[in-house]
Structure 1
Amino acid sequence: MVSPVHASELPQFSFEERQRRWQRVRHAMAREGMDLLLAPTHTGHWGQLQADVRYLTQLAPNMYEVFAVFPLEGEVVAITRMDSHTEWLRNAYEWVGDVRGLGRRTWSALVIERMHELGVTEQCTQRVGVVGLAQWQPRSPEGIIRYDTMARLKEAFPRIDWVNATGLMNHARAVKSPEEIACLERAGQIADKGVEAMIEHARPGMPAQTLWAHMQAAMLLAGGEYPSMINWDMRPDLSAFARHPTYRLLEKDDFSINEIEGKFNGYNHHTLHPAYLGQAPENYHRAYDAAYEAFEAAQAVARPGNTTANMAQAVEVVFQRHGLQGQFMMLGRGLGEDGPHQTMPTPDGEKPTKLEEGHVFAIRPVTGDVGASGRRFRMWLGDTCVVTPTGARRLSQHKMELAEIPC
């Protein structure tokens, strides 16, 4: 049965955008001597570990499993889990015409079949890149492709030179096009709604899980895609958030640090918005002012030709001037953990990244102080920005502040 879903019903990237991406990746493959690239399915980390599949095909919405076979020359093939889903994926997204279902077979069986169609034989010594064959980003320290899938591929093609293509794809995704930035701005509008809902609904006596639900609902009603990340908690002198909302009842003088992500068409806008239930103490304001000044300092130097090290140095100067201990963090944002990163360990030793116009990342300075409980709180703020010739521009509109919620 043909799916009634039509491409006009869903957000789409243009064929010009497909051409730009495919050329960018194929140029990188040619530089590395790769004849073929495999992007395996993996729906972890809110679907972000499947970012490369989505970048190449537009497929894999709502954490749906898709495996992409991307040759240096020839037709791109997407493999999906169920035969019955192939037609609706072809109708819903226009980039890839050859979508194949697993049926009762395995991922490796269909990949091997496609490689045979491309002329790869048991005796071939080509170089094949595999996204997630090994670590490049800190979220997946041992890669993401299944052991049994990789074992069967190696058995079928014992002379192939299998290489890790995670870094290649991460660099390809890092510089965003105008179409991608437009999606991130829309995701920023969705994140704005999550922030607004937190401030509007937080009240003493409310279960923390209920407030989290208000935030999720606001983002979905604004056109957001599910699932999206909200790492969030609210309690006295908070220094770390829960990975899942608790049923604790909120109280006056609770403090929230958080990571709130709006998602649109797979693109994630990451924001951190501290909030205090009641009137925040003076040292909270002092910590916030220092962190916000550090954020603006990082923005100012985030220009093409400068590096992530320049941004970190600008932040360090601010914290030293305020007499506070602080740290600079940044995470590349887009479909997933796009580069560049700072302060998160990677195999390249965190070498400074030279910034380019179109790089998108969340700037996240953090400091803190000792609260009334005797525990140290963390003042952590941030937002997703794009590198421009004049510095980093925010991609959301909510007011950055230490929100003090009347109660």
Structure 2
Amino acid sequence: MALHFERTEFASRLARLTDQMRAEKLDAVLLFAQESMYWLTGYDTFGYCFFQTLIVKADGTMSLLTRSADLRQAKHTSIIDDIHVWVDRVNADPTLDLRNLLSDMDLLGARIGVEYDTHGMTGRIARLLDAQLSTFGQIVDASYLVSRLRLVKSPTEVVYVERAAALADDALDAAIRLTKPGANEADILAAMQGAVFSGGGDYPANEFIIGSGVDALLCRYKAGRRKLDANDQLTLEWAGTYAHYHVAMMRTIVIGEPTHRHRELYNACLETIQAIETVLKPGHTFGDVFDMHAKIMDERGLARHRLNACGYSLGARFSPSWMEHQMFHVGNPQEIEPNMSLFVHMIIADSDTGTAMTLGQTYLTTPAAPRALSRHSLDFIGA
């Protein structure tokens, strides 16, 4: 059995979940986020692209409803004992199978929470689910119930986070070795991802971001590779991934002679991220982090060139994104606690001059100052 945690840790997580369920007067929850299932049971699959749900009752009983392709996947990777299979067929409606299973579990008339805000829940499934369960019981949105519990990492999770951080550093080392005039983005990307794989890591939950020239201003992956010019800029955003735990980093590397604007934007990034470190600790909120970001950037006249968020929580994530729900944006009341793994990124895209600059790293929060997880400094990188 491919479990990454001791059964005692899974038992502790289940106890935390059921305690919260009782506090919110939930008789059961329907988990559709693969991250929730993985955290709670170890279940590891990409089968959430089809209908599947883990039912958790307030007494700790768990049942999985999934497809035949994931029956053995669940048996091999999780602690789930009660597994039910819905059958692929023309006009299949697995929510009917779910309703019948919920009835068998004595949940008729129960107050049931549902994870709606997840990539494992399509709009079609949500409509079918609501139609089946609207007269079955009281259905409430519990999208962030498990997500909030996953914010603070256990000692074992911290070990995996630190391993992911080392892999992220290895990927940057690989990129720096290859970045020079005439280098092909494809070779850089292959070396970075190869460093993670050769170090025992996993596929990330989303693609690495790579872009040079004008595309260095982008912060999403896109198809197409190019070679670096003698004077160029290369933006990279990537993550080391271990046991699905992610540690992200971000850098813009300047090839050739940096422009005055490059230096100016780098100084803004460095000043801002260093200021954020003073509030990235207990006693502050995620909103406080964003406010610091916006204040310094805007004072430097960069309001049009910055983003409306400057980072987010990280953890064990599945495609299509390594980003957690909890982000650094205006007004977010989420309190910062020790042992959160938080990615802080400075992204400046100056379309007026065609200049890009980014600077980002992941921190582990403590009772006091945050601990940067990277062995790399925040120094300007040129090639």
Same fold, TM-score > 0.5, yes or no: yes
Instruction: Note the 1:79-228 alignment, pairs <5 A.
Output: 79-82=65-68, 85-87=70-72, 89-93=74-78, 95-104=79-88, 107-121=94-108, 124=109, 126-132=110-116, 135=117, 144-148=121-125, 150-152=127-129, 154-155=131-132, 158-228=135-205
The number of equivalent residue pairs is: 369
DSSP 3-state at the match of 2:76: helix
Q: Distance in 2 between matches of 1:308 and 1:341?
A: 7
Tell whether the 8 Å contact from 2:68 to 2:85 is kept in structure 1 after alignment. Answer: yes
1:71-119 deviation digits (Å, cap 9, x = unpaired): 1114212334325x534542344x2223344444664354334312311
Q: How far off is 1:245 after superposition? A: 4.1
Identity fraction in percent = 22
Q: Distance in 2 between matches of 1:355 and 1:57?
A: 26
Q: How far off is 1:130 after superposition? A: 1.0
Give the corresponding residue for 1:29.
21
Give the corresponding residue for 2:320.
none
Q: How far off is 1:300 after superposition? A: 2.2
Q: Distance in 2 between matches of 1:395 and 1:295?
A: 14
DSSP 3-state at the match of 1:272: strand
Structure 1's 207 and 64: CA in aligned 2 closer, same or farther, altered over 3 A?
farther
Tell whether the 8 Å contact from 1:208 to 1:245 is kept in structure 2 after alignment. Answer: no
Q: Distance in 1 between matches of 2:44 and 2:77?
A: 11
Give the corresponding residue for 1:382.
360
1:25 maps to a residue whose letter is L
- The alignment status of 1:75 with 2:53, answered yes or no, reads no
Tell whether the 8 Å contact from 1:67 to 1:78 is kept in structure 2 after alignment. Answer: yes
Q: How far off is 1:320 after superposition? A: 6.2
Q: Distance in 2 between matches of 1:340 and 1:149?
A: 23
DSSP 3-state at the match of 1:251: coil
Q: How far off is 1:243 after superposition? A: 1.8
Structure 1's 62 and 351: CA in aligned 2 closer, same or farther, altered over 3 A?
closer
- The alignment status of 1:51 with 2:35, answered yes or no, reads yes
1:119 maps to a residue whose letter is D
2:368 maps to a residue whose letter is T
- The alignment status of 1:60 with 2:44, answered yes or no, reads yes
1:120-149 deviation digits (Å, cap 9, x = unpaired): 23xx2x2111112xx4x8xx6xx8345246
Tell whether the 8 Å contact from 1:238 to 1:255 is kept in structure 2 after alignment. Answer: yes
DSSP 3-state at the match of 2:9: helix
- The alignment status of 1:240 with 2:221, answered yes or no, reads no
Instruction: Note the 1:386-397 alignment, pairs <5 A.
Output: 386-397=364-375
Give the corresponding residue for 1:286.
264
Give the corresponding residue for 1:44.
none
Q: Distance in 1 between matches of 2:347 and 2:99?
A: 48
Q: Distance in 2 between matches of 1:62 and 1:218?
A: 23
Q: Distance in 2 between matches of 1:351 and 1:401?
A: 30
Q: Distance in 2 between matches of 1:401 and 1:114?
A: 57
1:115 maps to a residue whose letter is L
Tell whether the 8 Å contact from 1:224 to 1:262 is kept in structure 2 after alignment. Answer: yes
Q: Distance in 2 between matches of 1:167 and 1:156?
A: 20
1:223 maps to a residue whose letter is G
Give the corresponding residue for 2:235.
257
1:203-239 deviation digits (Å, cap 9, x = unpaired): 3334323322221112111111124431221115832
Q: How far off is 1:35 after superposition? A: 0.9
Q: TM-score, normalised by structure 2?
A: 0.85
Give the corresponding residue for 1:43.
none
Tell whether the 8 Å contact from 1:203 to 1:250 is kept in structure 2 after alignment. Answer: yes
- The alignment status of 1:363 with 2:344, answered yes or no, reads yes
1:123-182 deviation digits (Å, cap 9, x = unpaired): x2x2111112xx4x8xx6xx8345246525632661411111112222122122222222
Task: Name the stretch that deviates more: 256-265 or 316-325.
Answer: 316-325
Q: Distance in 1 between matches of 2:325 and 2:178?
A: 35
Tell whether the 8 Å contact from 2:18 to 2:60 is kept in structure 1 after alignment. Answer: no
Q: TM-score, normalised by structure 1?
A: 0.80
- The alignment status of 1:334 with 2:310, answered yes or no, reads no
Unaligned residue ranges in structure 2 (runs of 5+): 318-322
Structure 1's 92 and 383: CA in aligned 2 closer, same or farther, altered over 3 A?
same
- The alignment status of 1:13 with 2:5, answered yes or no, reads yes
